[in-house]
């Protein structure tokens, strides 16, 4: 796929007045085709959860307002948002005056809906609310303390295996997820949460599999969908959820969520976020 026209990886002029044309989107289909995902019959529910910690505008009295912007894009949308274009677009609000906070909300929702060609949900969270929510410990069992030998740093789904015939329900996570931006080659660091029900997945091999993404070139959304499909096909769980919480770049973090269940992700922050 040709990304030559994208803002990502190119020098940019930062515009401080509202410019919706800065938004760029990327079709999902070319990213999903190699994974065998039928866009008309998705094997999962989910959404891409974006958080911008550097969002500001000017109110009717000329005083700057600040908020954390939460954006939820459904996994069924035909397009994803290009991350640098979102940063530039949000930056264009900085010196733009809005009479009411509701006007900011409506503008964001309308523009972003046009970008992804699907309904989106936008929330503006006050900094006092964010502070009150705090940072919580990840739920489940951390895999990172397992003393495993690692040989592979390119995706190896064949590492995945189940053990035993007893059905279990587990919540596992690892902070060792790293993939690389397919446009700039820069590393993307994150924590991945895997919740499943079914035959037990071998923990050491699951950790090796997660580490095998270390040099994988892929957008956040594609990386999570690849992980979801690999586990679904090779381990055949009765239920599966994969949720990655990536570290922010440029004040923005992307946290894709895919699940066999039609549910909403838990909005949490880890210590690294």
Q: Which residues are catalytic?
A: 181, 188
Residue with tokens 């990304």: 3
Q: Judge residue 209's burial from the number of C-beta atoms within 10 Å of its C-beta, 0-12 exposed, 13-18 middle, 19 or more buried.
A: buried
Chain-centroid distance, C-alpha 48: 5
Helix (H, G, I), strand (E, B) or coil at 60: coil
Nearest to 73 by CA among 89, 86, 84: 86
Burial grade of 17 (CB within 10 A; 0-12, 13-18, 19 or more): exposed
**Two tokens, residue 75:** 């996994």
3-state helix, strand, coil in the chain (%, to 5): 25, 35, 40
Total count of residues recorded for the chain: 273
Residues in a beta bridge with 252: 52, 249
Q: Which two tokens stand for residue 21?
A: 């044309």
3-class DSSP state of 67 = strand
Q: Which residue has the tokens 């037990």?
A: 200
């Amino acid at each position: 796929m040709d990304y030559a026209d994208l803002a990502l990886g190119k020098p940019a002029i930062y515009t401080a007045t509202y410019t919706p044309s800065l938004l760029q989107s990327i079709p999902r289909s070319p990213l999903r085709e190699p994974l065998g995902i039928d866009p008309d019959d998705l094997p999962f529910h989910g959404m891409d959860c974006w958080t911008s910690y550097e969002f500001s505008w000017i109110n009717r009295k000329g005083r700057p307002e600040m908020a954390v912007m939460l954006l939820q894009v459904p996994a069924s949308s035909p397009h994803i948002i290009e991350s640098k274009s979102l940063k530039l677009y949000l930056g264009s609000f900085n010196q733009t005056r809005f009479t009411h906070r509701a006007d900011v909300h409506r503008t964001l929702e309308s523009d972003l809906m046009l970008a992804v060609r699907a309904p989106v949900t936008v929330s503006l969270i006050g900094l006092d609310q964010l502070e009150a929510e705090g940072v919580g410990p990840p739920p489940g069992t951390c895999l990172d303390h397992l003393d495993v030998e690692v040989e592979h740093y390119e995706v190896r789904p064949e590492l995945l295996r189940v053990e035993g015939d007893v059905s279990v329900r587990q919540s596992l996570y690892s902070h060792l997820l790293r993939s690389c931006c397919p446009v700039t080659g820069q590393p993307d660091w994150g924590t991945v949460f895997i919740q499943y029900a079914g035959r037990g997945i071998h923990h050491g091999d699951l950790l090796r599999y997660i580490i095998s993404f270390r040099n994988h070139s892929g957008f956040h959304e594609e990386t999570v969908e690849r992980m979801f499909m690999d586990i679904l096909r090779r381990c055949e769980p009765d239920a599966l959820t994969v949720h990655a919480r990536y570290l922010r770049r440029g004040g923005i973090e992307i946290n894709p969520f895919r699940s066999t269940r039609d549910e909403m992700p838990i909005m949490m922050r880890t210590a690294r976020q």
